[in-house]
Amino acid sequence: MSGGALRLTGLTRVHGKGSVPALADVDLEVPAGSCVAVLGPSGSGKSTVLRLTAGLDEPTAGSVHLDGVDLAGVLPERRGMAMVFQRPLLFPHLSVRDNVAFADRVRGAPRRAARRRAEEFLELVQLGGYGGRPARALSGGQEQRVALARALAAEPRVLLLDEPFSALDARLREEMHELLAGLRMRLDPTILLVTHDHAEAAALADRVAVLDGGRLLQAGPMRELYARPASLAVSRLLGGRTEVAGVVRDGRHESPLGALDLAAPVPDGPAVLVVRHEAVRVTTAADPAADAVGTAVRVRPRGLRALVTVEVTGDGRTATVDAELGPGEDVATGRTVGLRLPVADRWVVPVDHDAPAQPVPSPSDA
Ligand code: ADP
Ligand code: MG
């Protein structure tokens, strides 16, 4: 199997006259053999992207190109695409093997040949030996493997995955991630994956497109989005927790945390400092390298690494910074601590009036 190059241009879907677009003017490239994740909250238009790509729904405007060919008017079954949904949608009364062989049989392949190919794809998803079982006898994770084998057996130019692992528990989900990574090495498919889980996008995709309210907010490699979100909305969708309102003056961000140098030049004016909790280090109040000193107001254990919220007061105003502690590190609530915010991990985004940053109390009510 070799994947095709997918290009979505100005893709728009409006369901009713005067209603808010489910998808608005989305441009997205999925290079051949790559995996692109569409990441967004529920209702953001993720499934709409897949349905329009697959031809299950028609765009109000815009186009879908596969290897340079416009797919307008091309029937879903002629697009060379296969989809895997959150629910596996197997035929429960058929054997696992015949579920995978189904597409070949419909296309008129002889039963024996179709079953032989089905077995090959079952091997690929590590279900060799399960072919004779009835599909209803499988666990959720196994069902999803069969759904994946069935999709791959169609040898699609593009594999469309609509939150296929979100119903699985964490351990199974991780197994599926490893399986998919292995399949990518062996088959080189083009994958458009939809997920609401930024960790899943980070684990699987070469590039990520962040969708909210039907609009594409930002696209790029996941590391870049984590480190340099274009907006507060992107920062939040990627699990960013710290938002410190302030003002940029002469390349420094001024806030209750003090005047902090920024790694990149930023124009003067109001701006929100964001910094990943994974990058912040909690030290002692006496730490000469601390960028700010504050009080630990909340500590939440998260496995080996606790998450601590530190309140910092400056100029009569208060800001909070979240930090992930190192394994085994602990901080008591109420303790005064130092915070190190590495320059490379500081980033500012514009003030978002629709999604106000953490309220900044005025000096009078502090
Ligand atoms: P997601 O997959 O990100 O949860 P969807 O793409 O399913 O989001 O939906 C995007 C928006 O379009 C939602 O507001 C949803 O209610 C709306 N929508 C989806 N399908 C229809 C439809 N057939 N008729 C009207 N609205 C729809
Ligand atoms: Mg959906």
Query: For 51-76, how does the pLDDT look when each residue is reduced to its tens digit (9 = 90+)?
Result: 999 999 999 999 999 999 999 999 99
Q: Give the position, in ligand 1's atom list, of the atom nearest the Cα of 162.
A: 2
- Which residue segments constitute the domains of the chain, with CATH numbers given? 6-223 (3.40.50.300), 241-353 (2.40.50.140)
User: What local confidence, expressed as pLDDT, does residue 362 receive?
Assistant: 35
Side-chain half-sphere CA neighbours of 42 within 13 A: 1
Per-residue pLDDT, 355:
64
Indicate whether residue 15 lines ligand 1 (CB < 6 A): yes
Q: pLDDT under 70 in the chain at which residues?
A: 1, 355-366
Taking the CA of residue 40 as reference, the ligand 1 atom at the shortest distance is 3
Contact at 8 Å (CB) between 97 and 133? no
HEC letters along 3-17: CCCEEEEEEEECCCC
Q: Please measure the distance between the N-terminal and C-terminal CA atoms of the chain and give it in whole angstroms.
A: 63
**Residues pairing with 282 in the sheet:** 339
- The pLDDT assigned to 241 comes to 96
Q: Which ligand is nearest to the CA of 43?
A: 1
**What integer pLDDT is reported at residue 121 of this predicted model?**
94
- Among 268, 275, 266, CA closest to 247: 268
**Alpha carbon distance 34, 207 (integer Å):** 8
- Residues with Cβ–ion distance below 5 A, ligand 2: 46-47
Report CA 93 to chain centroid distance, whole Å. 35
Residues with Cβ within 8 Å of 17's Cβ and at least 6 positions away in sequence, in order, are none
Q: What pTM, to 2 d.p., does this model score?
A: 0.90
Task: State both tokens at 11.
Answer: 């893709």
